[in-house]
Amino acid sequence: MSVFTDPDFDGHEQVVHCHERASGLHAIIAIHSTRLGPALGGIRMYPYADEAGALNDALRLARGMSYKSALAGLPLGGGKSVILGDPRRDKTPALLHAMGEAIERLGGRYVGAEDSGTAVADLQLMAQTTAHVTGLQDKPGLDGGVRSGDPSPATALGVFTGIRAAVRHRFGREDLAGLRVAIQGVGSVGHRLAQLLHAAGATLFVSDVWAPNLERALREFGAEPVTPDRIHAAPVDVYAPCALGAVLDDVTIPQLCAAIVAGAANNQLAQARHGEALRARGVLYAPDYAINAGGIIDVCAERLGEDAAGVRARVERIGATLTAIFEQAESEGLPTQLVADRLAERRLYG
């Protein structure tokens, strides 16, 4: 399939296929936009079934990063890279060095960060061959401690803040005590979100394809386990997708029990039309790139030299952004993701 005929090609400025024989690197770097700044976005490693699936993911994720940064008011464009391979089996120092070299050849148009399948230690290896990765430094954490460059605590805080805004808008309540929340994926972000929700008194239903993640959540939060293929249909108030995207489609939307969908995963709608399908069912959807912007806010702050208090203030503004989206969507009878798109495009394109 040609990049230009891919259904998720959206005028991307540049798409690069990267290969390095010795390390076995196969990767795609997609730059959607550099209008507002360098195209910053995570480096994902995943065992894609084929190149077409990897390309589709890279294009969708890169566009989402442009809109995410624009909506959050950040001086960044949008990009994403994907490495084809199993991060638990195929990741090697040589492969990470080769990925760094591929990023370096773009001369700063793309800046990589942590994502699903990569960690701060991986970025530190890439930093040996490129100056264009970020999220590496130890810095003050949002809880007052010191942490690594891992942006997942900020992402989780943003999603938690967004859930509070959605609950306030839909149910007219401030507290989360007794709120039933289904979290799909309790890895780095999902686990931290579960911690925040548990501390706020929510009742948790969780799923994960990785047994140790699931067992930890059950042990620490007294959560109810649900199989990954049924977590979307759990009898809850809020469904929080925190794994991979495209989980809201023609099959899952009619099966939702939740009145709110608000989670950390990127590209939760399988197709744009599924935003209208959620609205028609009366489900309040927190657009993914609006609610999960905490991580990019945190990574951008490292580049700008902003302190932890500034990061927290920016992340907590996610709630106000979502409230404005919810109110406009309701008053105009539009899907929330369409309203979010228009707000982001106003900043991107004027």
- By annotation, the residues acting in catalysis are 80
**Structure-block tokens of residue 240:** 């929080």
Task: From 295, 259, 281, 346, select the one nearest 71 (Cα to Cα).
Answer: 346
| Backbone φ, ψ for residue 18 (5° rounding) | -115, 135
Distance CA 128, CA 276 (A): 46
Distance CA 203, CA 218 (A): 12
Is residue 247 within 8 Å of 265, Cβ to Cβ? Answer: yes
Distance CA 183, CA 197 (A): 10
Q: Which residues contact 273 (CB under 8 A, 6 or more apart)?
A: none
Is residue 275 within 8 Å of 335, Cβ to Cβ? Answer: yes
Distance CA 74, CA 70 (A): 6
For the chain, how many residues are written? Answer: 350
Distance CA 296, CA 290 (A): 11
**Sheet strands side by side (includes 224-225):** 224-225, 203-207, 180-184, 238-241, 260-261, 284-285
The beta-strand segments (E) located in the chain are 14-20, 25-33, 39-46, 77-84, 110-113, 139-140, 146-147, 180-184, 203-207, 224-225, 238-241, 260-261, 284-285
Is residue 175 within 8 Å of 201, Cβ to Cβ? Answer: yes
CA distances, 30 to each of 72, 113, 116, 290, 309 (Å): 21, 14, 16, 20, 32
